[in-house]
């Protein structure tokens, strides 16, 4: 991995959660309020384990507890010192870019410059009707709001006009970022158009790799690099989001994760018309070429190192929460990821 000057930089490893509603020792779902408190504890554990980033998603559903991510991140900022904090993702299409910028600028000040936003459209659509937006405007909303946010993050007075909000005329937005520019990425799935959009604005790219074979995304990373050059921008970072769980052995990780993964996927399948989750497909996704980073520290480290090198990644984030997976199991996974997996990955990459 290298930065825009060509200097080699260590791969960063982070974790993410949506604040999934978990269960207690008796299998009873916890109240969302307790889950939120557990998320703060998990963030503290991530910093103690030496991880680089802690991200929280934004959802407006009964199976996730986090609908106001910057509030949660503000609480985490108050009990941590070094770990970077951000979203995974902020659903920019159904929010106002000015308000998003203000919230992150506030978080950046409170955290002493540790805030970053991953901006996207999300994998759920419940925020659109909730906040009064039409799905027919799906593309227009994100295109215009990302263009405005790209201007706002520079910390200078902004002039902008479009169809999705009122115009701005040399408008300053507060508070200012202490170091000048707010860090932000564009989160994308598998769409070439989304990759080119990120390059157009000169913003770092974050790939959501939640199925299939990660190396199939390599053409998108090449497209992104080529598009940056064509738009006249400097090279930017590329990150990727995976799902996973680390345990002491491969079998333990699979056995711990499978029932909670199945419950989640079956619920989503009922909503979206997918077939029921099968153990065979689950195990295939955890194999050497699959996108699920689940297994022992050695297994997970080998996959991270391979995908990071093959895709040219600057950061790998793992969504460590999985539906009703208990808090204690996630805490152990966080510990192993920071103390075992990260050192192994860095050692593997240093030998390349």
Across 304-320, average pLDDT: 98
Q: Quick check: is 286 in a domain?
A: no
| pLDDT at res. 3 | 46
Q: Quick check: is 263 in a domain?
A: no
In this predicted model, what pLDDT tens digit does every residue of 81-94 receive, in sequence order? 999 999 999 999 99
In this predicted model, what pLDDT tens digit does every residue of 322-341 receive, in sequence order? 999 999 999 999 999 999 99
In this predicted model, what pLDDT tens digit does every residue of 240-265 receive, in sequence order? 999 999 999 999 999 999 999 999 99
Q: Quick check: is 87 in a domain?
A: yes
Q: Is the pLDDT of residue 221 over 70?
A: yes
- The CB-side HSE value for 216 (13 A sphere, CA atoms) comes to 12
CATH assignment of the domain containing 160: 3.20.20.30
Across 212-228, average pLDDT: 97
Q: Quick check: is 261 in a domain?
A: no
**Residue percentage of the chain with pLDDT more than 90:** 92
Q: How many angstroms separate the CA atoms of 145 and 93, rounded?
A: 7
* Number of domains forming the structure of the chain: 1
In this predicted model, what pLDDT tens digit does every residue of 278-298 receive, in sequence order? 999 999 999 999 999 999 999
| pLDDT at res. 4 | 43
Q: Quick check: is 39 in a domain?
A: yes
| pLDDT at res. 7 | 43
Q: Quick check: is 130 in a domain?
A: yes
Owning domain of residue 101: 12-256+291-350
Q: Quick check: is 283 in a domain?
A: no
Q: Is the pLDDT of residue 8 over 80?
A: no
Q: Quick check: is 264 in a domain?
A: no
In this predicted model, what pLDDT tens digit does every residue of 199-211 receive, in sequence order? 999 999 999 999 9
| pLDDT at res. 1 | 56
| pLDDT at res. 10 | 87
């Amino acid at each position: 991995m290298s930065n825009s000057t060509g200097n080699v930089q260590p791969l960063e490893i982070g974790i993410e959660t949506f604040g999934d509603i978990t269960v207690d020792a008796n299998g009873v779902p916890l109240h969302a309020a307790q889950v939120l408190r557990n998320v703060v504890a998990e963030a503290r554990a991530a910093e103690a384990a030496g991880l680089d980033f802690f991200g929280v998603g934004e959802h407006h559903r009964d199976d996730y507890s986090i609908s106001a991510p910057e509030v949660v991140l503000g609480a985490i900022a108050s009990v941590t010192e070094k770990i970077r904090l951000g979203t995974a993702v902020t659903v920019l299409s159904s929010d106002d870019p000015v308000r998003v910028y203000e919230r992150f600028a506030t978080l950046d000040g409170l955290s002493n410059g540790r805030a970053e936003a991953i901006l996207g459209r999300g994998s759920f659509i419940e925020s659109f009707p909730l906040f009064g937006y039409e799905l027919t405007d799906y593309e227009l909303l994100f295109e215009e709001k990302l263009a405005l946010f790209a201007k706002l993050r520079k910390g200078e007075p902004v002039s902008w006009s479009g169809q999705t909000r009122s115009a701005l005329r040399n408008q300053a937005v507060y508070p200012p970022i202490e170091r000048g520019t707010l860090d932000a990425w564009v989160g994308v799935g598998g769409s070439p158009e989304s990759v080119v959009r990120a390059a157009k604005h000169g913003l770092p790219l974050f790939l959501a790799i939640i199925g299939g074979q990660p190396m199939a995304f390599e053409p998108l990373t090449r497209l992104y690099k080529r598009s940056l050059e064509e738009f006249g921008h400097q090279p930017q970072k590329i990150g990727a989001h995976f799902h996973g769980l680390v345990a002491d052995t491969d079998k333990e990780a699979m056995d711990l994760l499978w029932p909670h993964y199945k419950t989640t996927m079956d619920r989503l399948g009922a909503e979206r018309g997918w077939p029921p989750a099968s153990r065979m497909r689950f195990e295939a996704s955890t194999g050497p070429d699959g996108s699920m980073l689940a297994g022992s520290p050695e297994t997970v480290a080998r996959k991270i190192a391979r995908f990071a090198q093959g895709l040219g990644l600057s950061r790998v984030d793992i969504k460590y929460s999985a539906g009703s997976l208990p808090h204690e199991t996630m805490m152990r996974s966080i510990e192993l990821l920071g103390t075992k997996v990260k050192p192994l990955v860095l050692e593997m990459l240093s030998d390349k």
